[in-house]
């Protein structure tokens, strides 16, 4: 039952810190119209993770909305990982914003876990340059260490918001088990009940070491199960967003198993019998063990794959394309041996011999897409390093290697059965093929060139679906916003079906005249001055109007003087030609869409 | 235990699980991984005989009358255009891709910057498998490699403005499409210097439902003619509702005598 003693350094609200947003301003990062992270100021206003954009804005109208950009987050995290490299060469990046390393060697060198953790906190803090808070936790195993790091997050005591805040456990002050933690840490969380969720203020007279002590939680060796016991089971879903885990947590809660201690107290065999592999994992984590039994030994050398890049690549896209092939190759080989990779070393070498290596860890197992993502993140951080010109490679990249560091038996993922029937295609194969082709296109045209549709709420045909850029590796991920069910109800006042086949952005200028050749106007009461007789689109030829309907007035965002729009829409069918959706706004006509 | 295995062996059991139990994807370690590897092998190569319909991408039922054979033959180019002064090219191209898209194929569109995505969804294109690629620019050299890369990975590639290709590039592209088994839909006509094996032309289109100050666009009655080379030489013609009322594509009943209907409407309007 040996568990690796691990240190986790965690930067709270990393997506916002990476975007350079001050944490005392309300801001949220959205992906597919849902909040993935929000600043403490926004949390105080009631913004939560998984909220829809409208709900978040309704709670906090001045909310600054940012797009989710994992690559930029990883790039910004590179200096943090680099700062910790003076402690140990084996920094594992769990995801941008959190990294971990085993403490066994470094702890002895620096004089104990507490000293090491404080040193790590000082290093990360100086790398962050006051941009955001950092927390460090040391415990047996990465799961407990991660919780120790997060648990210390200051939250306004009267308001429990968001899943992240639930990490605190019961709304009362520190639960009994916390007493086993280092005294200074739990004492601090009590002494600052009113600090809200602001980043921790630096005590003006305090030394760097005293500040660092405030940022650190060390769970003594062997005390992890007691530390974990009062924590609610929902943290399992927060740590690992996999569908199975979320469903498992839901069932556990309904069964009355609400804390990790209660889960750990259940007999392992019964949990596995009921919940299978996901239950085994959860039970091990709750008991303070690693998610899997420890690997029997280091990965054999022959798994390491490397590729020579010729000519040397200066752009990340070109390397990402190579990485994709390498990742596919590695995955195929591992799958053939019934194995999967959970920790991976990604390395690259420039033409002048500089090398860059990072260890990446994942909670599940690495898919080829996930590997290619990590390569892209790491190399973007290295090549476009933030202001660390000395650390950047001086030439193009010539070699890339992937070395699996921890190999486990594959979880036995059930692939979809090949679809039957003529013309049906294997969905996984088709998706992989498309992702590879898009990686190539992104290498040619840049990352922004590839866009996928996403449903949004809206009235106009161009507002109901938005195009968002996508990394080639994400294109086959499940994207719920690309399904029509994402917007359950039509908005009142929307343009009725069928939708136009061409939507013009920006709208094309148009002229609409009546039978006498005078411009048609729409009054404030929504009446046309004369029936339209002819339209001219974008300076083209005159087309006679065969039939028309409208005007349908539309008064949007009247509460906001800057984005307020008042317009009227008219449908027009021309003789023999296309039908148009015309918009008149401030007396000016334009073609919003063409029914081509 | 038996219960868990029942779920594990039932991958089609969708997200809505009435018991509320978490879906457990298999328990076996090594066996599962090996099974995964086996099912990834290209099963298509195994069969001794390959039926003609296996080499086709399905089309919507309403469009079956327009294509020779059971669907769009893989490895070919389809030109979609409209007679002068008639609209409907974009809708027809989307409808053509919809059948394959519903069957699980991925669709890429390039150069169609103003594509109406709601319309695409209504006509039956699965948006989760649709990717739009930005215009590679005015530069004619930029188009061929990008479209070539897309043809490698997508079953259906919609390309706007085929006149942007040089004839030499178009010839190479057609060869690549044939080799990869994709279907290239050229929106707006044939590729320069190439005559598509199948060409669809909108010859007449008329919107229904719109009056003079009343009503709304409801559906469009469209006449499409198909011609081409080889098995598509014989001209086919179909009357379609594209879009049909409420979205989608429907076959229109042959309208033998449209004139009386027209007359009744005119009387109604002038009244």
Kind and range of the H or E run holding A77? helix A70-84
| Residues in a beta bridge with A218 | A138
Q: Which of B22, B40, B51 is facing A247, going by the closest CB pair?
A: B22
pLDDT in tens, A258-314: 999 999 999 988 888 888 888 888 888 888 887 765 554 455 557 788 888 888 888
> Could you tell me if B151 and B17 lie in one domain?
no
Q: Which of A410, A438, A467 is facing B32, going by the closest CB pair?
A: A410
**Residue B108 pLDDT level (bands cut at 50, 70, 90):** very high
Give the CA dihedral A399, A400, A404, A409, nearest 10 degrees: -120
* Residue A460 near chain B (CB below 8 Å): no
Query: Do the Cβ atoms of A333 and A433 come closer than 8 Å?
Result: no
Distance between CA atoms of residues A480 and A52, nearest Å: 13
Shortest CA gap A593–chain B (Å) = 8
Other beta carbons within 10 Å of A310: 9
| Residue B209: both structure tokens together | 């439902």
Query: Do the Cβ atoms of A416 and A423 come closer than 8 Å?
Result: no
> Could you tell me if B35 and B111 lie in one domain?
no
Q: Is residue A494 part of a domain?
A: no
Mean pLDDT (whole number) for B126-138: 85
Shortest CA gap A94–chain B (Å) = 24
Distance between CA atoms of residues A217 and A223, nearest Å: 13
Contacts of A577 in chain B (CB under 8 A): 85-87
CA A492 to each of CA A459, A460, A484, A495, A556: distance values in angstroms, whole numbers, following the listed order: 8, 11, 17, 9, 11
Cβ pair B131:A475 closer than 8 A: yes
The closest alpha carbon to A246, from A482, A427, A49, belongs to A49
Q: Is residue A524 part of a domain?
A: yes
Find the domain containing A452 and state its range: 427-486
Q: What are phi and psi of A52, to 5 degrees?
A: -80, 160
Q: Is residue B49 part of a domain?
A: no
Cβ pair A438:B153 closer than 8 A: yes
Predicted local confidence at residue B17, as pLDDT? 38
Q: What are phi and psi of A308, to 5 degrees?
A: -95, 130
Q: Is residue B50 part of a domain?
A: no
Length of chain B: 271
Mean pLDDT (whole number) for B71-84: 90
Strand boundaries in chain B, DSSP class E? 56-58, 71-73, 76-82, 107-110, 130-133, 156-160, 183-187, 198-210, 215-228, 236-241, 250-251
| Residue A312: both structure tokens together | 């040397």
Predicted local confidence at residue B152, as pLDDT? 87
Strand order in B130-133's β-sheet? A465-469, A450-455, B130-133, B107-110, B156-160, B183-187, B76-82, B198-210, B215-228, B236-241, B250-251
Which site among A271, A341, A441, A474 would you substitute to test the B interface, given the most B Cβ atoms closer than 10 Å to its Cβ? A441
Q: Is residue A187 part of a domain?
A: yes
Check whether A76 has a pLDDT greater than 50: yes
| Residue B214: both structure tokens together | 């009343």
Cβ pair B153:A497 closer than 8 A: no
Check whether A43 has a pLDDT greater than 90: no
* Residue A492 near chain B (CB below 8 Å): no
Predicted local confidence at residue A395, as pLDDT? 82
pTM over 0.80: no
Q: Is residue B261 part of a domain?
A: no
Check whether B212 has a pLDDT greater than 50: yes
Distance between CA atoms of residues A481 and A487, nearest Å: 8
Average pLDDT, chain A: 78
Q: Strand A502-513 vs strand A588-595: parallel, antiparallel, or unpaired?
A: antiparallel
Q: For tokens 């019934």, what's the residue?
A: A338
CATH number for A386: 3.30.1490.100
Check whether A158 has a pLDDT greater than 50: no
| Residues in a beta bridge with B206 | B221
Nearest residue of A to residue B242 by CA position?
A498
> Could you tell me if B22 and B140 lie in one domain?
no
| Residue B212: both structure tokens together | 């003079």
Shortest CA gap A582–chain B (Å) = 13
Predicted local confidence at residue A494, as pLDDT? 81
Query: Do the Cβ atoms of A402 and A346 come closer than 8 Å?
Result: yes
pLDDT in tens, A80-127: 888 888 888 778 888 888 888 888 888 888 888 888 888 888 888 888
Bigger pLDDT: A190 vs A434: A434
**Residue B254 pLDDT level (bands cut at 50, 70, 90):** low
Kind and range of the H or E run holding A330? helix A316-336
**Residue A364 pLDDT level (bands cut at 50, 70, 90):** low
Q: What is the DSSP letter of A490?
A: P
Q: Which of B43, B145, B220 is facing A444, going by the closest CB pair?
A: B145
Predicted local confidence at residue B11, as pLDDT? 39
Shortest CA gap B94–chain A (Å) = 9
* Residue A386 near chain B (CB below 8 Å): no
Cβ pair B154:A247 closer than 8 A: no
Say how many domains are in chain B: 2
Check whether A590 has a pLDDT greater than 80: yes
- Residue pairs between chains A and B whose CB atoms are closer than 8 Å: 303
Check whether B271 has a pLDDT greater than 80: no
CA A308 to each of CA A322, A351, A508, B19, B218: distance values in angstroms, whole numbers, following the listed order: 9, 11, 50, 52, 59
Q: Which of A413, A426, A577 is facing B32, going by the closest CB pair?
A: A413
Q: What is the DSSP letter of A52?
A: B
Q: Is residue B148 part of a domain?
A: yes
Q: Which of B24, B153, B215 is facing A278, going by the closest CB pair?
A: B24
Say how many domains are in chain A: 4
Instruction: Decide which of A356, A377, A409 is a domain's last residue.
Output: A409
Cβ pair A276:B27 closer than 8 A: yes
pLDDT more than 90, % of chain A: 4
> Could you tell me if B61 and B172 lie in one domain?
yes
> Could you tell me if B78 and B8 lie in one domain?
no
Distance between CA atoms of residues B141 and A309, nearest Å: 25
Check whether A133 has a pLDDT greater than 90: no
Predicted local confidence at residue A240, as pLDDT? 66
Query: Do the Cβ atoms of A149 and A8 come closer than 8 Å?
Result: yes
> Could you tell me if A91 and A216 lie in one domain?
yes
Nearest residue of A to residue B15 by CA position?
A243
Bigger pLDDT: A537 vs A162: A537
* Residue A501 near chain B (CB below 8 Å): yes
Mean pLDDT (whole number) for B106-112: 91
The closest alpha carbon to A50, from A470, A480, A366, A471, belongs to A480
> Could you tell me if B6 and B64 lie in one domain?
no
Mean pLDDT (whole number) for B127-145: 81
Check whether B7 has a pLDDT greater than 70: no
Kind and range of the H or E run holding B266? helix B258-270
Which site among A501, A542, A594 would you substitute to test the B interface, given the most B Cβ atoms closer than 10 Å to its Cβ? A501
> Could you tell me if A477 and A512 lie in one domain?
no
> Could you tell me if A263 and A324 lie in one domain?
no
Cβ pair A414:B108 closer than 8 A: no
Q: Is residue A230 part of a domain?
A: yes
CATH number for B239: 3.40.50.300
Q: Is residue B212 part of a domain?
A: yes
Q: Strand B56-58 vs strand B71-73: parallel, antiparallel, or unpaired?
A: antiparallel
Q: Which of A254, A425, A438 is facing B103, going by the closest CB pair?
A: A425
> Could you tell me if A223 and A250 lie in one domain?
yes
Q: Which of A277, A338, A594 is facing B33, going by the closest CB pair?
A: A338
Shortest CA gap A557–chain B (Å) = 23
Predicted local confidence at residue B10, as pLDDT? 39
> Could you tell me if A322 and A464 lie in one domain?
no
> Could you tell me if B231 and B172 lie in one domain?
yes
* Residue A547 near chain B (CB below 8 Å): yes
Predicted local confidence at residue A353, as pLDDT? 84
> Could you tell me if A585 and A521 lie in one domain?
yes
> Could you tell me if A137 and A84 lie in one domain?
yes
* Residue A338 near chain B (CB below 8 Å): yes
| Residue A268: both structure tokens together | 């392992």
A238-242, A275-279, A416-420, A455-459: range with lowest mean pLDDT: A416-420
Q: Which of B71, B105, B216 is facing A425, going by the closest CB pair?
A: B105
Shortest CA gap B229–chain A (Å) = 23
Query: Do the Cβ atoms of B254 and B223 come closer than 8 Å?
Result: no
Burial-class residue A379 by CB neighbours within 10 Å (0-12, 13-18, 19+). Answer: buried
Predicted local confidence at residue A179, as pLDDT? 33
Distance between CA atoms of residues A491 and A501, nearest Å: 20
Average pLDDT, chain B: 76
Contacts of A451 in chain B (CB under 8 A): 131-134
Q: For tokens 């790491």, what's the residue?
A: A378
Cβ pair A340:B33 closer than 8 A: yes
> Could you tell me if B86 and B122 lie in one domain?
yes
Q: Which residues contact A383 (CB under 8 A, 6 or more apart)?
A: A314, A316, A392, A393, A397
Cβ pair B51:A422 closer than 8 A: yes
Cβ pair A547:B210 closer than 8 A: yes
Q: Is residue A417 part of a domain?
A: no
**Residue B94 pLDDT level (bands cut at 50, 70, 90):** very high
Q: Is residue B26 part of a domain?
A: yes
pLDDT more than 70, % of chain B: 72
Check whether B13 has a pLDDT greater than 90: no
Strand boundaries in A325-365, DSSP class E? 339-350, 355-361
pLDDT in tens, A368-386: 778 888 888 888 878 776 5
Query: Do the Cβ atoms of A282 and A236 come closer than 8 Å?
Result: yes
Bigger pLDDT: A595 vs B31: A595
Contacts of B246 in chain A (CB under 8 A): 497-498
Distance between CA atoms of residues A40 and A33, nearest Å: 20
Other beta carbons within 10 Å of A51: 20
A55-69, A189-203, A474-488: range with lowest mean pLDDT: A189-203
Contacts of A453 in chain B (CB under 8 A): 117, 120-121, 127, 130, 132
Contacts of B30 in chain A (CB under 8 A): 338, 409-410
The helix/strand/coil state of A226 is helix
Instruction: Decide which of A374, A409, A444 is a domain's last residue.
Output: A409
> Could you tell me if A12 and A64 lie in one domain?
yes
Mean pLDDT (whole number) for A405-409: 75
> Could you tell me if B17 and B133 lie in one domain?
no
CA A209 to each of CA A84, A117, A198, A206, B20: distance values in angstroms, whole numbers, following the listed order: 17, 11, 21, 8, 50
> Could you tell me if A453 and A534 lie in one domain?
no
Shortest CA gap B91–chain A (Å) = 6
Shortest CA gap B183–chain A (Å) = 13
> Could you tell me if A322 and A183 lie in one domain?
no
A109-123, A158-172, B257-271: range with lowest mean pLDDT: A158-172
Contacts of B152 in chain A (CB under 8 A): 433, 436-437, 440
Q: Is residue A421 part of a domain?
A: no
> Could you tell me if A278 and A344 lie in one domain?
no
> Could you tell me if B11 and B66 lie in one domain?
no
Distance between CA atoms of residues B200 and B90, nearest Å: 12
Q: What is the CA radius of gyration of chain A?
A: 28
The closest alpha carbon to A104, from A119, A88, A120, A92, belongs to A88
Q: What is the CA radius of gyration of chain B?
A: 23
Query: Do the Cβ atoms of A575 and A550 come closer than 8 Å?
Result: no
Query: Do the Cβ atoms of A432 and A426 come closer than 8 Å?
Result: no
> Could you tell me if B34 and B149 lie in one domain?
no
CA A544 to each of CA A572, A576, A587: distance values in angstroms, whole numbers, following the listed order: 10, 9, 21
Q: Is residue A247 part of a domain?
A: yes
pLDDT in tens, B154-185: 999 999 876 778 888 888 889 889 888 899 99
Exposure string of A551-582, with b = 16+ CB inside 10 Å and e = fewer, is bbbbebeeeeeeeeeebbbbbbbbebbbbbbb
Shortest CA gap A339–chain B (Å) = 7
Which ipTM score applies to this complex? 0.74
| Residues in a beta bridge with A595 | A579
- Conformational region of residue A32, where left means phi above 0, alpha means psi within -120 to 50, and beta covers everything else: left
Predicted local confidence at residue A390, as pLDDT? 63
Check whether B221 has a pLDDT greater than 60: yes
> Could you tell me if B90 and B208 lie in one domain?
yes
CA A313 to each of CA A60, A428, B68: distance values in angstroms, whole numbers, following the listed order: 45, 30, 47
Predicted local confidence at residue A208, as pLDDT? 62
The closest alpha carbon to B16, from A35, A485, A233, A415, belongs to A485
Which site among B16, B31, B33 would you substitute to test the A interface, given the most A Cβ atoms closer than 10 Å to its Cβ? B33
Check whether A46 has a pLDDT greater than 50: yes
Predicted local confidence at residue A64, as pLDDT? 86
Q: What are phi and psi of B152, to 5 degrees?
A: -65, -35
pLDDT in tens, A463-505: 888 888 887 667 777 777 888 878 777 777 788 888 899 999 8
Cβ pair B153:A436 closer than 8 A: yes
> Could you tell me if A431 and A403 lie in one domain?
no
The helix/strand/coil state of A314 is coil
* Residue A461 near chain B (CB below 8 Å): yes
pLDDT in tens, B241-251: 888 887 788 88
Find the domain containing B152 and state its range: 56-251
The closest alpha carbon to A544, from A519, A576, A583, A521, belongs to A576
Predicted local confidence at residue B8, as pLDDT? 37
Q: Is residue A588 part of a domain?
A: yes
Which site among B119, B143, B248 would you substitute to test the A interface, given the most A Cβ atoms closer than 10 Å to its Cβ? B119
Mean pLDDT (whole number) for A133-151: 86
Check whether A47 has a pLDDT greater than 80: yes
Cβ pair A595:B20 closer than 8 A: no
Mean pLDDT (whole number) for B21-50: 42
């Amino acid at each position: 039952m040996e568990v690796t003693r691990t240190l986790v350094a965690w930067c709270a609200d990393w997506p916002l810190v990476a975007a350079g947003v001050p944490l005392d301003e309300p801001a949220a990062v959205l992906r597919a119209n849902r909040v993935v992270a929000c600043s403490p100021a926004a949390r105080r206003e009631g913004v939560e993770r998984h909220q829809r954009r409208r709900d978040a804005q309704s709670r906090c109208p001045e909310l600054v909305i940012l797009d989710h950009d994992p690559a930029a987050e990883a790039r910004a995290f590179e200096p943090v990982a680099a700062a910790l490299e003076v402690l140990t060469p084996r920094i594992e990046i769990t995801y941008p914003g959190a990294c971990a390393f085993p403490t066994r060697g470094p702890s002895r060198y620096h004089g104990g876990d507490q000293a090491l953790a404080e040193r790590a906190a000082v290093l990360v803090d100086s790398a962050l340059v006051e941009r955001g808070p950092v927390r460090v936790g040391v415990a047996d195993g990465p799961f407990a260490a991660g919780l120790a790091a997060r648990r210390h997050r200051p939250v306004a005591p009267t308001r429990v918001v968001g899943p992240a805040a639930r990490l605190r456990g019961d709304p009362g002050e520190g639960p009994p088990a916390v007493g086993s933690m280092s005294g200074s840490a739990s004492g601090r969380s009590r002494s600052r009940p009113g600090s809200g969720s602001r980043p921790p203020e630096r005590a003006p007279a305090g030394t760097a070491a005293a500040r660092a002590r405030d940022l650190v939680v060390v769970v003594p060796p062997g005390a992890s199960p007691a530390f974990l016991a009062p924590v609610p089971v929902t943290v399992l879903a927060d740590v690992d967003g996999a569908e199975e885990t979320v469903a498992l947590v839901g069932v556990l809660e309904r069964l009355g198993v609400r804390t990790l201690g209660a889960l750990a107290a259940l007999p392992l065999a019964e949990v596995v019998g009921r919940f299978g592999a996901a239950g085994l994992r959860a039970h091990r984590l709750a008991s303070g063990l690693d998610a899997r039994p420890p690997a029997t030994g280091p990965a054999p050398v022959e798994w390491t794959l490397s590729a020579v890049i010729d000519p040397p690549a200066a752009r990340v896209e070109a390397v990402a394309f190579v990485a994709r092939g390498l990742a596919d190759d590695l995955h195929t080989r591992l799958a053939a041996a019934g194995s999967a990779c959970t920790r991976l070393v990604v390395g690259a070498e420039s033409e002048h011999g500089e090398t860059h290596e990072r260890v990446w860890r994942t909670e599940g197992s690495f898919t080829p897409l996930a590997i290619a993502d990590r390569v892209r993140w790491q190399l973007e951080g290295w090549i476009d390093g933030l202001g660390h010109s000395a650390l950047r490679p001086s030439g193009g990249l010539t070699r890339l290697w992937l070395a699996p560091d921890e190999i486990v038996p594959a979880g036995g993922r059930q692939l979809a059965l090949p679809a039957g029937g003529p013309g049906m295609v294997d969905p996984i194969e088709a998706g992989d093929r498309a992702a590879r082709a898009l990686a190539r296109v992104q290498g040619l045209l840049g990352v922004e060139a590839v866009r996928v549709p996403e449903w949004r709420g809206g009235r106009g045909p161009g507002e109901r679906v938005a195009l968002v850029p996508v990394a080639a590796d994400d294109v086959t991920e499940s994207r719920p916003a690309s399904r029509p069910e994402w917007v359950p109800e039509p908005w009142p006042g929307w343009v009725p079906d069928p939708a136009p086949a061409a939507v013009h952005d920006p709208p094309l200028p148009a002229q609409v005249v009546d039978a006498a050749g005078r411009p048609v106007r729409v009054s404030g009461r929504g009446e046309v001055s004369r029936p339209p007789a002819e339209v001219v689109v974008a300076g083209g030829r005159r087309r006679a109007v065969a039939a028309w309907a409208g005007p349908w007035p539309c008064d949007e965002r009247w509460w906001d003087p800057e984005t307020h729009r008042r317009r009227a829409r008219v449908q027009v069918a021309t003789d023999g030609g296309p039908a148009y959706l015309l918009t008149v706004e401030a007396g000016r006509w334009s073609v919003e869409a063409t029914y081509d | 235990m038996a219960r868990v295995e029942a779920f594990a062996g039932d991958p089609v059991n969708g997200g809505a699980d009435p018991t509320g139990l978490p879906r457990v994807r298999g328990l076996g370690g090594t066996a599962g991984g090996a099974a995964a590897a086996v099912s990834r092998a290209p099963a298509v190569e195994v069969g001794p005989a390959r039926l003609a319909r296996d080499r086709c991408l399905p089309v919507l039922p309403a469009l079956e009358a327009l294509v020779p054979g059971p669907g769009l033959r893989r490895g070919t180019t389809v030109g979609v255009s409209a007679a002068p002064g008639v609209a409907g090219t974009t809708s027809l191209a989307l409808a053509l891709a919809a059948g394959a898209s519903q069957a699980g194929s991925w669709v890429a569109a390039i150069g169609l910057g103003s594509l109406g995505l709601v319309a695409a969804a209504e006509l039956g294109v699965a948006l989760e498998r649709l990717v739009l690629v930005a215009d590679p620019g005015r530069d004619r050299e930029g188009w061929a490699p990008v479209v070539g890369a897309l043809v490698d990975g997508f079953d259906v590639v919609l390309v706007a403005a085929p006149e942007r290709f040089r004839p030499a590039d178009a010839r190479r592209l057609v060869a690549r499409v044939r080799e990869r088994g994709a279907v290239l839909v050229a929106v707006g006509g044939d590729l320069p210097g190439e005559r598509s094996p199948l060409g669809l032309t909108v010859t007449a289109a008329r919107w229904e439902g719109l009056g003079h100050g009343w009503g709304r666009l409801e559906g469009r009655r469209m006449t499409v003619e198909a011609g081409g080379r080889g098995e598509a030489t014989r001209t086919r013609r179909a009357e379609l509702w594209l879009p049909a009322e409420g979205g989608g594509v429907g076959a229109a009943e042959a309208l033998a005598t449209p004139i009386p209907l027209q007359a009744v409407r005119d009387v109604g309007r002038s009244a």
